Amino acid sequence: MTVLTIATTPYADQKPGTSGLRKKVPVFQQPNYAANFIQSIFDSLDGFAGTTLVIGGDGRFFNREVIQIAIRMGIANGFGRIIVGRGGILSTPAASCVIRAYGAFGGIVLSASHNPGGPTEDFGIKYNISNGGPAPEKITDAIFAISRTITRYLTIEAPDVDLDKDGETRIGGSVVQIIDPVADYAALMEQLFDFDAIRTLIGSGFRVAFDAMSAVTGPYATEILERRLGCPAGTVRNGTPLPDFGGHHPDPNLVHAKELYDLMMGADAPDFGAASDGDGDRNLIIGKGIFVTPSDSLAMLAANAHLAPGYKAGLKGIARSMPTSGAADRVAEALGVPLYETPTGWKFFGNLLDAGMATICGEESAGTGSDHVREKDGLWAVLLWLNILAARRESVMAIAQDHWSRFGRNYYARHDYEGVDSAAADAMMAELRGKLGTLPGTAFGTLTVATSDDFAYLDPVDGSTSNQQGIRILFEGGSRIVFRLSGTGTSGATIRVYIERYEPVGGDLAQATPDAIADLVGTVEAIAGIARHTGRTEPDVIT
Ligand code: VG1
Ligand code: CO
């Protein structure tokens, strides 16, 4: 086997965002674009000669091509074993599981998650470290720095590997191993949850609807829900992964999973509805007649996790991203465990999980997970819900109402302004930042600003700091509005506005969310001037 050194020139735009490098497919199709980034990943790492690299993706358009590139480059760069999910498929949580299960050095995960797929849509590449989690900022910064000066990449001359046949192929001194993408993950789920109890629940006529959104979770959900837990065929909808997700956004929110939402609100609704995103790490939970916000779901899962075998010893701590509502904080307090508030993105949870400081983590963007892997995990959340429902034998609605009556309710919504002119969005954030010192004490209608800041995180494990992670406006009485720019979009900027109001026990816990937060929504323009800066008067997506 001859290692080829191919001359290349750098691209200036390979800065990883919240979760890896995401660009439109035509950007990735430029000469050497993917190879440059993959070589920059390898060049940022040390000591991997002879070790194992995991490669897999969410099956979107361009997945197979980049997998072949990554296999050749992985061998040329000296990995001893390359493990690839059959068909090039590994959901993000399954990739994390496989990296851990096989003791791999790391993994390359090909996904743009909830972003649409297809020839003119999105693609992404992410590097995960040996704990199975997304590379921390120290590594992503190094990858970016290398990508700006790269002059060559390493590959080998070899035919494409047959991705559809399980087994091992020797290429030079390395082995390429194609594995079942579902088996290791499904086995892990069986360890964590009481499958017998869930099977009994299903057998009693409990009805489940799971929308895989034509994305990667289809094969995982079909194996686990239908084959192992006995849900009838057809429980998993849109269960075949398609390169363009059937032309939809594989984003499990109330806009893009509206069909499921309508089903769950209808007369003959199933008992439990759920959906997952493009790469399988997000979850949407809808009970019969009730949508559970991701922030509430995190809190409810944490409060009931001890009902599942994997968590019966209790939680060591709970971690949530800063924009996620404070609902989980009250559960942590009641359980007497610490609550950690991190910047947006799963990479910030890894250290806490590795150090045994947190057991369950979550984000308002429909991501929940635990220390079983180092990624958020859509099906895991679904199975924990099912385990809790099997143990409590109450409806989702009853569990939610009981939760609010014990902890109070955090009314919560996120307003997204998508595809906004980047310069205008930057100007808006800069202006807000400039006002932070003078906002406290200012009244907006009935609301008065108590404090305001730009969230900064000091990692309690490795002492690293991350600044400018979102602007927080906290009002007297505990309500808050958070402003930040998305780090996963691929066209223009996306402004995210997170709005939260806490209603204590004894208050009106049965309001419609838009009514409960109307005052706060009414202050957004006066505080941030979104319309003034961007011309947008309404958000594009409310979740
Ligand atoms: C978004 C979410 C964030 C999540 C990230 C990756 O990031 O807000 O909570 O971790 O997507 O999720 P941003 O920077 O666009 O707000 V996934 O499922 O797209 O990998
Ligand atoms: Co995702």
Q: What is the CATH number of the domain that holds 494?
A: 3.30.310.50
pLDDT at 396: 98
Comparing CA positions, the residue from 260, 446, 501, 512 lying closest to residue 366 is 260
Please check whether residues 223 and 102 belong to one and the same domain.
Answer: no
Helix axes 327-335, 396-407, angle to 10 degrees: 70
Tokens of 383: 């199975």
* Of 407, 432, 447, the domain-final residue: 407
Q: Which atom, in ligand 1's list, is nearest to the CA of 126?
A: 20
Q: Which atom, in ligand 1's list, is nearest to the CA of 114?
A: 19
pLDDT exceeds cutoff 90 at 8: yes
* Of 407, 434, 462, the domain-final residue: 407
> For 20, which DSSP code?
B
Please check whether residues 372 and 506 belong to one and the same domain.
Answer: no
pLDDT at 65: 98
* Of 154, 180, 206, the domain-final residue: 180
Please check whether residues 231 and 373 belong to one and the same domain.
Answer: yes
Please check whether residues 272 and 315 belong to one and the same domain.
Answer: yes
pLDDT at 489: 81
Helix axes 396-407, 378-392, angle to 10 degrees: 90
Question: Mean pLDDT over all residues of the chain?
Answer: 97
Please check whether residues 326 and 434 belong to one and the same domain.
Answer: no
pLDDT at 1: 79
Q: What is the dihedral of CA 175, 176, 177, 182, to 10 degrees?
A: 150
Please check whether residues 222 and 126 belong to one and the same domain.
Answer: no
Please check whether residues 356 and 395 belong to one and the same domain.
Answer: yes
pLDDT in tens, 146-166: 999 999 999 999 999 999 999
pLDDT exceeds cutoff 90 at 488: no
Task: Answer yes or no: are the C-beta atoms of 345 and 113 closer than 8 Å.
Answer: no
So which residues are the catalytic ones?
113
Within 8 A by CB and 6+ apart from 30, the residues are: 11
Ligand 1 mean position, distance from CA 280 (Å): 13
Number of domains composing the chain: 3
pLDDT at 56: 98
Token match 């035919």: residue?
159
Please check whether residues 279 and 146 belong to one and the same domain.
Answer: no
Q: Please tell me whether residue 359 adopts helix, strand or coil conformation.
A: coil
Q: Which atom, in ligand 1's list, is nearest to the CA of 111?
A: 20
Average pLDDT in the 302-310 region? Answer: 98
Average pLDDT in the 527-538 region? Answer: 96
pLDDT in tens, 93-144: 999 999 999 999 999 999 999 999 999 999 999 999 999 999 999 999 999 9
Ligand 1 mean position, distance from CA 511 (Å): 28
The pLDDT-based confidence of 542 (bands split at 50, 70, 90) is very high
pLDDT exceeds cutoff 90 at 92: yes
Ligand 1 mean position, distance from CA 345 (Å): 6
Q: Domain containing 125: what range?
A: 3-180
pLDDT in tens, 387-419: 999 999 999 999 999 999 999 999 999 999 999
| CATH code for position 61 | 3.40.120.10
Q: For ligand 1, atom 8, name the residue with the nearest CA.
A: 365
Ligand 1 mean position, distance from CA 392 (Å): 32
Percent of the chain whose predicted confidence (pLDDT) is above 90: 96
Average pLDDT in the 451-472 region? Answer: 96
Q: What φ, ψ does residue 478 adopt, rounded to 5°?
A: 100, -5
Please check whether residues 523 and 445 belong to one and the same domain.
Answer: yes
Comparing CA positions, the residue from 286, 287, 289, 284 lying closest to residue 267 is 289
The pLDDT-based confidence of 283 (bands split at 50, 70, 90) is very high
Please check whether residues 416 and 403 belong to one and the same domain.
Answer: no
pLDDT exceeds cutoff 90 at 490: no
Residues with CB under 5 A from ligand 2 (ion): 113, 277, 279, 281-282
Q: What are the pocket residues of ligand 1 if the criterion is a CB atom closer than 6 Å to any ligand atom? A: 18-19, 113-114, 277, 281-282, 321, 344-346, 363, 365, 367, 486-488, 496
Average pLDDT in the 238-243 region? Answer: 96
Comparing CA positions, the residue from 355, 366, 330, 358 lying closest to residue 342 is 358
Please check whether residues 46 and 136 belong to one and the same domain.
Answer: yes
Please check whether residues 111 and 197 belong to one and the same domain.
Answer: no
